């Protein structure tokens, strides 16, 4: 799984819990990974737009304190994609573990 695919999976996982705006998604990724993973603005928003174009997330604008915020939510198609991505990730983790964990 390349970096782009991993970011997409992380975004979908964050949105699985509840709808969020872009900054909150980035903060959730950082917090849940204890600071090891980040979602920079330059990659986060293009990923969100691509996920939306694919029908994996949908967005809606809300007025919050006089500012317009775009909130993203996971679609059913996105839930299916997240399930598949988790399966792919788990297979990769097991494969790497098999190589690293061997006592030869």
Q: What is the pLDDT of residue 1?
A: 80
Kindly provide the b/e burial profile for residues 39-60, where b requires at least 16 CB atoms within 10 angstroms of the residue's own CB. Answer: beeeebeebbeebbeeebbbbe
- The model's pLDDT over 49-73, given as tens digits with 9 standing for 90+, comes to 999 999 999 999 988 888 999 999 9
pLDDT on residue 102? 62
Distance (Å, whole) CA 8 – CA 67: 26
Rounded Cα distance between 10 and 76, Å, is 16
Q: Architecture of domain 3-101 in CATH?
A: Orthogonal Bundle (1.10)
| pLDDT > 90 fraction of the chain, expressed in percent and rounded | 85
Residue boundaries of the structural domains of the chain:
3-101
pTM for the structure as a whole:
0.90
């Amino acid at each position: 799984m390349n970096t782009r695919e991993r970011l997409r999976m992380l975004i979908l996982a964050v949105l699985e819990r509840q709808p969020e705006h872009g900054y909150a998604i980035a903060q959730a990724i950082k917090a849940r990974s204890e600071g090891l993973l980040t979602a920079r603005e330059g990659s986060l928003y293009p990923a969100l737009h691509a996920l939306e174009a694919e029908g994996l997330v949908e967005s809606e604008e809300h007025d919050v304190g006089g500012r317009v915020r775009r909130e993203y939510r996971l679609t059913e198609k996105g839930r299916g994609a997240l399930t598949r991505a988790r399966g792919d990730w788990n297979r990769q983790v097991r494969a790497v573990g098999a190589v690293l964990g061997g006592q030869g």
